[in-house]
Amino acid sequence: MNVLVVGGAGYIGSHMVKMLAARGHAVVTLDNFSTGHRDAVVAGRVVEADLADRAALDALFASGRFDAVMHFASFIQVGESVREPAKYYRNNFANTLNLLDAMVAAGVTRFVFSSSAAVFGEPERVPIDEAHPKRPINPYGRTKLMVEEALADYDAAYGLRSVSLRYFNAAGADPQGAIGERHDPETHLVPLVLQAASGRRPSVAVFGDDYDTPDGTCVRDYIHVVDLCDAHLLALDWMAAHGSSGAFNLGNGQGFSVREVIDTARRVTGRPIAVVASPRREGDPARLVADATLARRELGWNPRFAALDTIVAHAWAWERTHASRGTEG
């Protein structure tokens, strides 16, 4: 297949590019490099353009025949989305419509969308299945849900088939160590904990220890980036087989507290990790755990790297490469 990976220079997108190429697919990365890294794109052609630039999108779709588009290019910081909602509605929603419209015009009919557990908002029950009410509590989550809703309408009206994949907590890195997580600024727990282990940071903050959870810290469902990429490939097969659109929750179905993640990292790295008790972060639900039964049943998805130790070990190998290079971000 010939697959366009939008945001292929970012964390999850770059792992997708590598997997697609390894499976023998032709891949083109579209990225504006606002947050991505050129050297993270390890295969295929790279086109630098912004999703706001409809003419550039039309030219790209005219340049070759794409069987599918995978869309990873969005802003991901919840707190920033509250302070700067325009940035999120513009990029994550309006620019995504640009991409969808260019696809429709070019006759490309398969789309995989990086959605998020944030579409659910404060959970009414855990684990969270697809039938759980969708009431996002911040602009970030709203933009993801708005795209999901637009996709249902685009399927009905234009025959654009899509699969929305709602990631819980993406973590880990390429098992071969070629690429990994590199956000700047980094806000995610696993890389921050490992930067504290490698000495790139003095300590890691624990945001709140008085939640209604066994040890008082927030519980999350960490899922390996390669397992997320597997689901994208399966989603392409699913759309081809079913000729319809769908949305699936992706997680391991097992929750780990912030303290458990830190303890796992201490064990895996053999390094001390200093912790600073800090106030709660706004908008953090106490527990977010996926019920991914539907993805397993419908897509045939079966996470290969479900153990938190493995997720942390792969992320640690990547952090060590970085720490030894002395690179930032």
Catalytic positions, written as ranges: 140
Q: Which is nearer to ligand UDP, 58 or 186 (CB)?
A: 186
Q: Is 204 in the site for ligand UDP (CB under 6 A)?
A: yes
Calpha distance 152→224 (Å, rounded)? 28
Q: Is 101 in the site for ligand UDP (CB under 6 A)?
A: no
Minimum CB distance to ligand UDP, residue 155 (Å): 28
Minimum CB distance to ligand UDP, residue 69 (Å): 24
- Strand, coil or helix: 112: strand
Q: Which is nearer to ligand UDP, 54 or 188 (CB)?
A: 188
Contact predicate 48/58, CB 8 Å: no
CA torsion 279-283-286-289 (nearest 10°) is: -140
Angle formed by the axes of helices 54-62 and 95-106, to 10°? Answer: 30
Report which of 97, 96, 75 is spatially closest to residue 87, judged by C-alpha positions.
75
Report which of 307, 188, 205, 204 is spatially closest to residue 256, judged by C-alpha positions.
307
Minimum CB distance to ligand UDP, residue 138 (Å): 10
Phi, psi of 55 (to 5 degrees): -60, -40
Which one of 152, 207, 254, 317 is in contact with ligand UDP (CB under 6 A)? 207
**Of 26-34, 63-71, 188-196, 300-308, which segment contacts ligand UDP by CB under 6 A?**
188-196
Calpha distance 271→194 (Å, rounded)? 9
**Of 42-50, 185-193, 236-244, 300-308, which segment contacts ligand UDP by CB under 6 A?**
185-193
* Cα atoms in the Cβ-side hemisphere of radius 13 Å centred on 214: 8
**Of 22-30, 79-87, 151-159, 203-211, which segment contacts ligand UDP by CB under 6 A?**
203-211
Report which of 173, 303, 237, 171 is spatially closest to residue 25, judged by C-alpha positions.
237
Which one of 99, 218, 225, 228 is in contact with ligand UDP (CB under 6 A)? 218
Report which of 175, 144, 170 is spatially closest to residue 73, judged by C-alpha positions.
144
CA torsion 121-122-126-127 (nearest 10°) is: 20
Minimum CB distance to ligand UDP, residue 80 (Å): 12
- Computed over its alpha carbons, how large is the radius of gyration of the chain? 19
Contact predicate 29/45, CB 8 Å: yes
Which one of 142, 144, 166, 220 is in contact with ligand UDP (CB under 6 A)? 220
Q: Is 122 in the site for ligand UDP (CB under 6 A)?
A: no
Beta bridge partners of 206: 277
Q: Which is nearer to ligand UDP, 213 or 293 (CB)?
A: 213
Q: Is 281 in the site for ligand UDP (CB under 6 A)?
A: yes
Q: Which is nearer to ligand UDP, 3 or 231 (CB)?
A: 231
Q: Is 308 in the site for ligand UDP (CB under 6 A)?
A: no
Q: Is 289 in the site for ligand UDP (CB under 6 A)?
A: no
Q: Is 169 in the site for ligand UDP (CB under 6 A)?
A: yes
Calpha distance 71→44 (Å, rounded)? 16
Minimum CB distance to ligand UDP, residue 207 (Å): 4
Minimum CB distance to ligand UDP, residue 191 (Å): 8
Task: Work out whether strand 219-220 and strand 161-167 pair parallel, antiparallel, or are unpaired.
Answer: unpaired
Q: Which is nearer to ligand UDP, 113 or 256 (CB)?
A: 256
Count the residues of the shown chain that bind ligand UDP, applying the rule CB under 6 A: 14
> Contact positions toward ligand UDP, by CB under 6 A?
169, 187-189, 192, 204-207, 218, 220, 258, 281, 284
